């Protein structure tokens, strides 16, 4: 049986991309949620390029503060978001495959799996968040 994340590995990077032809980290999240969970997330196309970390941090913090995303205490499960700081600002996210492993848009390359407990992400985790529709349906592990 093919794991759901295999359907997205290798998707190319595109700044502000929101589909399979190319995506940034939020775009990859929107594609995964749409195709795997039938959950439509906002596009957030009003922010600037990936270099504009302040705008991206505002976008992520704004999303965190909506009733749609609930902070996760304890272990993350599939489809939770893992939010990361670059410097002092939360400017990157990945979709949890299982606790400690995420699929994310790796730099300006493509969608990849990466362990976020060690390496460059190990000390940057700002938190895990779960979509309210996953809570009401019972989070998948």
CATH number at residue 67: 3.90.1720.10
Number of compact structural domains in the chain: 1
Q: What is the pTM of this model?
A: 0.84
User: Is residue 102 predicted with pLDDT exceeding 90?
Assistant: yes
Question: Which range of residues forms the domain containing residue 31?
Answer: 4-137
CB atoms within 10 A of CB 59: 19
CB under 8 Å to 23, separation ≥6 — which residues?
11, 12, 13, 14, 17, 30, 31, 105, 111
pLDDT averaged over every residue in the chain: 84
Q: What is the mean pLDDT of residues 15-23?
A: 93
């Amino acid at each position: 049986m093919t794991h759901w994340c295999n359907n997205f590995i290798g998707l190319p990077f595109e700044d502000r991309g929101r589909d399979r032809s190319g995506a940034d980290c939020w775009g990859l999240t929107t594609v995964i949620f749409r195709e795997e969970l039938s959950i439509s997330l906002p596009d957030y196309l009003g922010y600037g390029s990936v270099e504009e970390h302040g705008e991206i941090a505002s976008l992520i913090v704004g999303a965190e503060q909506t009733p749609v995303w609930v902070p996760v205490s304890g272990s993350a499960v599939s489809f939770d978001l893992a939010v990361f700081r670059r410097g002092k600002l939360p400017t990157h996210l990945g979709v949890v495959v299982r606790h400690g492993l995420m699929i994310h848009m790796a730099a300006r390359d493509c969608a990849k799996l990466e362990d976020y407990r060690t390496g460059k992400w190990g000390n940057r985790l700002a938190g895990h968040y779960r979509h309210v529709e996953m809570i009401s349906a019972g989070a998948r592990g």
